[in-house]
Structure 1
């Protein structure tokens, strides 16, 4: 199975740095962190209510948000949750949501690292990824 990066630096380089939007990236990453937490909370609320269709819809929204900032592993897991939630049992979806919570925490750490790197003006270091 292929390992998917928490943050896809190739994506960030092409879609932000090379496109001339690197100055926006710190703010976009910060906003995404807040969004991811809100999406997770909404997913957990729908799960507690047993509404797996709504879990899938919120996972779809999270998938798009994660993809737009290069949070590749999170986008992939959200996609899996989107596809599987409507046809799974609550216990299975609960396990997936726990995994999602852990991955959001890991992605948050990767974003913190990226923000520190961006703060040092190390944009040229992206060529190593």
Structure 2
């Protein structure tokens, strides 16, 4: 399977390949796992964070930050980083614009991954 990596504009391919030790096949496998996470574990996370910030949702936001970073999904990672930090600071509600940005970044990444996986 050959993935047209250059078509993935939502991803920093070089950063993702660093995590995969330069192994393109491994990176493709990790991208497929990330796609699965976005459609299962993280599905609806921005919407759920609008209503309540539970320990489970805080953990999911933190996990998303790490997962996104490891595949080079920089926009998702950046939004998740801010959310993670705000939760750690004790914020009880998050800015709608931030959650909208996370949602849009997830949708863009899913769209790109759907077209190549």
Compute the TM-score of the two structures, normalised by the length of structure 2.
0.68
Runs of 4+ aligned structure 1 residues displaced above 4 Å come to: none
Shift of 1:95: 3.8
**What is the SS of the residue equivalent to 2:44?**
helix
* Structure 2, unaligned runs of 5 or more: 1-8
Q: Give the alignment of 1:1-129 within 5 angstroms.
A: 6-16=10-20, 19=21, 21-37=23-39, 38-42=41-45, 44-45=47-48, 47-48=50-51, 50-51=52-53, 54-85=56-87, 86-89=90-93, 92=95, 94-112=96-114, 115=116
Count of residues paired in the alignment = 106
Q: RMSD over aligned Cα, in angstroms?
A: 2.7
Structure 1 residues 83 and 52: CA distance shift in structure 2, 3 A: farther
Q: Greater relative contact order: 1 or 2 (C-alpha under 8 angstroms, separation 6 or more)?
A: 2
Distance 2:25 2:83 in 1: 33
Shift of 1:45: 3.5
* Structure 1, unaligned runs of 5 or more: 117-129
Structure 1 residues 97 and 54: CA distance shift in structure 2, 3 A: farther
Shift of 1:34: 1.8
Distance 2:53 2:78 in 1: 21
More helix per residue: 1
Compute the TM-score of the two structures, normalised by the length of structure 1.
0.63
